Structure 1
């Protein structure tokens, strides 16, 4: 027969163990479970909004930038480089999705009471990784996996080319700024079967027209949009008269934003390359 004193001690020990386990489980749930409490999101990078819509999280978006036209009826908090911090805090978001640490630096981060997720992919593969991370954060893993599968399937539509065309991509005409090695545009060109001749290790690089003439690309792609408003068509520029490239005009918003659109852009560019190859 177990003495009463010993029985009491064992009961106390068991009770202490239960309380310790309960506290440990509670702490684990608090610190190691995904951020399940996200209910209000501010998107400071327009390429992200279509992703959130695809993940079924449209109703979570409470604010976007002025240039974000994918989401209607929410508060516009300024630009991605100059968001209104007071307005951000008034919206009381749980999560802010920013483009980069340069766009939303530490000083800004310290002034808001929300988690910050940086979305700044440099390649198509990076976009897929970011989609999965966002899906996990918002408890939409299955939808994220489905979206990734659809985007990969879209890339499977790209045809092989008889040879790899060389490309220069004009981001801005004056001063002449082109896509560099770190640009999402280089990944799009590569996926489409081409090769960006500008190997400078930056997103955008300023180069001379003489350099363009020396590189002699097969394709000179120039975008038209917010960064390159109403450029003179390259074939009409006097200094490009001797350039034998095929000049291709494209919509900046369809190509330059690193989001879902980038996969369609790769397919479209491949079709352009393929068409030229059969001429």
Structure 2
């Protein structure tokens, strides 16, 4: 974790708590009931703790598929990149959970609406996500429930890790986009660090302080990882469509050995929550990416 997320002790003789987060310390004087979440992982955390948010930020006019059944009649407050402050204010929240990277510029405005806690989800790694979940559990007074959820998650993680081949070579995991091109996720990104946690070596290291950065086909050839993992939106045209026709791509070890795996971009690169990760574990097992089994 880049920043220690800690909930400070109860203030003497009161119910207020001070929550230390990436942009300061926020005092919360009562257990929040009306919560707005501006990142998918925060929404995931609330659902896992049995709390329904009153407002959520989403993308492309829809919630993530695995979260949607839990968000009926929940108000949409804009996108994760551009939340609508007026819509947030109209909900009269008593807590806003915002993202460090996306929302630091509007933290002051959010704080005027309601107590705001800012956590590093978008650029966070696996340990950041676990720390945030614990913090949210403490804020809601649901520490015991949070511990139970994390224990179940750890059992699922260990089950998935048991499938990992110790002989498997390094991998690269990349997000495909028609607009942004190909973005590799390094050892310090969420999904890159998750694969490391599973026992697969991530060949991509951070560059110039960035945990995620654009790569070209030539970069892939230079690294020539044993396994390639692409995160793609079904039906979207991406650079991979052109690469498949290029002899350079066909020369890659992963391509020759049928070790190229494609997963849903929405779940794998946007979810980041405990429930989302548990779904990823199941797909890691069934796809064969951990066992270094040929891709289907």
* Same fold, TM-score > 0.5, yes or no: yes
After superposition, the CA RMSD in angstroms is 2.8
The 1-side partners of 2:251 and 2:29 are apart by 57
User: 230, 236, 239: which one pairs with 1:229?
Assistant: 236
Does the CA contact (< 8 Å) of 1:80 and 1:98 recur in 2?
Answer: no
Aligned equivalent of 1:12: none
Cross-structure match for 2:109:
110
- Which moves more between the two structures, 135-144 or 249-258? 249-258
Q: Secondary structure at the match of 2:293?
A: helix
Matches of 1:235 and 1:184, distance apart in 2: 26
- Could you state the TM-score of these two structures normalised by the residue count of structure 2? 0.75
CA distance in 2, matches of 1:247, 1:28: 59
SS of the residue aligned with 2:135?
Answer: helix
The 3-state SS of whatever aligns with 1:78 is strand
Q: Note if 1:198 corresponds to 2:183.
A: no
- Cα offset, 1:131, TM superposition: 1.4
- Structure 1: how far apart are the matches of 2:292 and 2:106? 49
The whole-number CA distance in structure 1 between the counterparts of 2:11 and 2:204 is 53
Q: Give 1:220 shift.
A: 1.1
* Matches of 1:79 and 1:266, distance apart in 2: 27
Q: Greater helix percent: which structure?
A: 1
CA deviations 1:12-66 (Å, max 9, x no partner) are xxxxxxxxxxxxx9964054486434110111111222221121111xx111123
- Are residues 1:47 and 2:55 paired? no
Whichever of the two has the greater Rg, that structure is 1
Q: Is the CA contact 1:234–1:240 (under 8 Å) kept in the aligned structure 2? A: no
CA 1:26–1:66: 2 relative to 1, 3 Å: closer
Q: Secondary structure at the match of 2:14?
A: helix
Distance 1:234 1:193, change over 3 A: farther
The structure whose residues are more often strand, as a share, is 2
Q: 1:84 and 2:84 equivalent?
A: yes
C-alpha distance after superposition, 1:217-263 (max 9, x if no partner): 1111111129x933345772414121121211111122223212224
Aligned length in residues: 251
Gaps of 5+ in 2: 1-9, 19-27
Q: Which aligned runs of 4 or more in structure 1 are off by greater than 6 angstroms?
A: none
Shift in Å at residue 95 of structure 1?
A: 0.7
Alpha-carbon contact 2:268-2:280 (below 8 Å) kept: yes
> Match for 2:156 among 154, 157, 168?
154
CA contact (8 A) 1:55 1:143 kept: yes
- Offset of 1:210 from its aligned partner? 1.2
Residue 272 (structure 1) shift: 2.1
Cα displacement string for residues 65-91 of structure 1 (whole angstroms, at most 9, x for unaligned residues)? 233342121211111111111111111
